[in-house]
Amino acid sequence: MAENQVKSTGPTMLPYYLERVIDASCVVVWIFLSATMVFYNKFLLSYFGFYYPITLTLWHMVVCTSLATACVQSGLVKALEIPNELYIKKIIPIAACYAGALWTSNAAYALTSVSFAQMVKAGMPVAVFFTGICFGVEQFRWVLLADIVLVTCGVGISAYGEAHLVVNGLVLLVVSMVFDAIRLTLTQQMIQSSGIRFNPITTLYYIAPVASCFLSIPFMLLEVRGATGFLGNVSGGLWHFIFNAGNAFALNLSVYLLLGRTSALTMNVCGLIKDWFTIAGSMLIFGSIVTVTNIVGYLVAFAGVLWYNYLRMPRLTQQADASKESAPDMEKQVGPGQVTPSSSGKAPKMRQSDHELELISGESEQQPLLGKSQSTVNGGNDLANHIDFKKGSQAMDTSQQQMYESRKVTR
């Protein structure tokens, strides 16, 4: 009798194997959209002749702002209550760094090959480590410094082996990583002080409008005439920009769905696969030249990034446990995907905001392992990131555990 009652509570649940297929499909779609975002941006900036990275990034932000607002206003995604003081002290600085990271990243992709940019961005942990120390959110350890030296050497070897090195492009990549590292550090401070977390859609809802305002200033000063003149002469190719912006928002949406079904940890691991596919794809599509020295340097940096994450794993596990313990208190905050026990008699839904997500929007790609963004491509992605182990990213909330337990009983 009890068993029949349990079975009757879950008729809408899909078979276990089918849910795994859906999870895998979400991963494949995310990797595809992320790589497509990088390649599409590269095409527009380097091959289509539209070398206006500020304009392209601003266009992404405007479109993503509009679509994210539509999602929130229609009730598909719930907005968070953001105090004015927090908005001014945290959201605006984060948006400024976000705009700077996207601008310089897209500008760099226009000057360098996609494969080289991916390899250089493997050095993201270096920027995150030193920025975290400066802001007091990272503790200095000699073993971490040794790992950072390893990553730096790997990136240096990769840059040295670049067949067609463009110094300006390399400088822009470094500046982009610095901007993004500051953004990630400020985001971590905000979470530690307020406990507020965003998913990709609410991230765009609050940050994309402010980022658009910051981008509009250099746009008016540097690109408005050239960009409008170019667009006036290529009316037949305007559909490229529509699909490109749609790709950017779809990428954010895919991250939202992926993290809703799995976890940020899954995304981080799959991000490694995505980076390799992106490098291989750039070689096939754009004919990017990858030398043996490039590969050796990237492998050294890649090993350093893996070691970095391994060294931080105990701390991340403690943070995940702390996140679980604080879950009951967080239920009181109504945010994206959240249901408070007092406001509904139904079983609480999984809270998408349990995972601190990176904004993927705007960059030419998601960021490398850690600091994630780690990035995010160009315009609307939260290019991603790239792969960042953030606080609570490994924690599975209580409601999700209950779902799996009920599935076991049903079977």
pLDDT digits (tens, 9 = 90+) for 92-103: 999 999 999 999
Name the more confident of 195 and 49.
Answer: 49
- With CA atoms as reference, report the closest residue to 118 among 314, 319, 377: 377
CA distance 105 to 171: 10
Name the more confident of 130 and 20.
Answer: 130
pLDDT tens profile 61-86: 999 999 999 999 998 888 888 888 88
> With 0-12 CB in 10 A as exposed, 13-18 as middle and 19+ as buried, what is 179?
buried
Indicate if the pLDDT at residue 307 is higher than 90.
Answer: no
Domain locations along the chain: 26-112+127-133+167-286+315-325+355-410
CA distance 160 to 301: 13
Q: How confident is the model at residue 177 (pLDDT cuts 50, 70, 90)?
A: very high
Indicate if the pLDDT at residue 199 is higher than 50.
Answer: yes
CA distance 11 to 50: 52
Indicate if the pLDDT at residue 175 is higher than 50.
Answer: yes
Indicate if the pLDDT at residue 215 is higher than 50.
Answer: yes
State residue 314's pLDDT score: 64
